[in-house]
Amino acid sequence: MKYHPILLLSTSAALLLLFMILYGVSAGTSQQNFELLNTLNNYSSDLLSQAIPIRTIIGFDNVFIALYTSVIILVVVKLGAENRTAQVLLYIILGCGLMAGILDYLENFHIITMLSSLEYGISLDVVEIKEQMVWSMLKWHLSYFAFFLMAFVLKPQNFLEKFFCFSLVFIQLPVGVFYYILEGSQIGDVLFYVRYANLVVGFVLIGIIFYVRTNQHTDY
Where residue 39 falls (left for φ over 0; alpha for ψ -120 to 50; beta otherwise) is beta
- Cα–Cα separations (whole angstroms), residue 124 to 35, 45, 166: 15, 11, 43
**Alpha helix segments (H runs only) across the chain:** 5-27, 40-49, 51-82, 87-119, 126-150, 159-167, 173-181, 186-219
pLDDT by position in tens, the chain (length 220): 467 999 999 999 999 999 999 999 999 999 999 999 999 999 999 999 999 999 999 999 999 999 999 999 999 999 999 888 899 999 999 999 999 999 999 999 999 999 999 999 999 999 999 999 999 999 999 999 999 999 999 999 999 999 999 999 999 999 999 999 999 999 999 999 999 999 999 999 999 999 999 888 555 4
**What phi and psi, each to the nearest 5 degrees, are found at residue 151?**
-60, -25
d(CA 3, CA 30): 34
Inter-residue contact 180 to 152 (CB < 8 Å): no
Q: Count CA atoms within 13 Å of residue 98 on its CB side.
A: 10
Coil vs helix vs strand at 31: helix
Angle of helix 51-82 versus helix 5-27 axis, rounded to 10: 160
- Cα–Cα separations (whole angstroms), residue 102 to 106, 108, 135, 199: 6, 10, 11, 18
Q: What pLDDT is stored for residue 27 in this prediction?
A: 96
d(CA 69, CA 86): 20
Which residue type, as a one-letter code, is found at position 161?
Answer: E
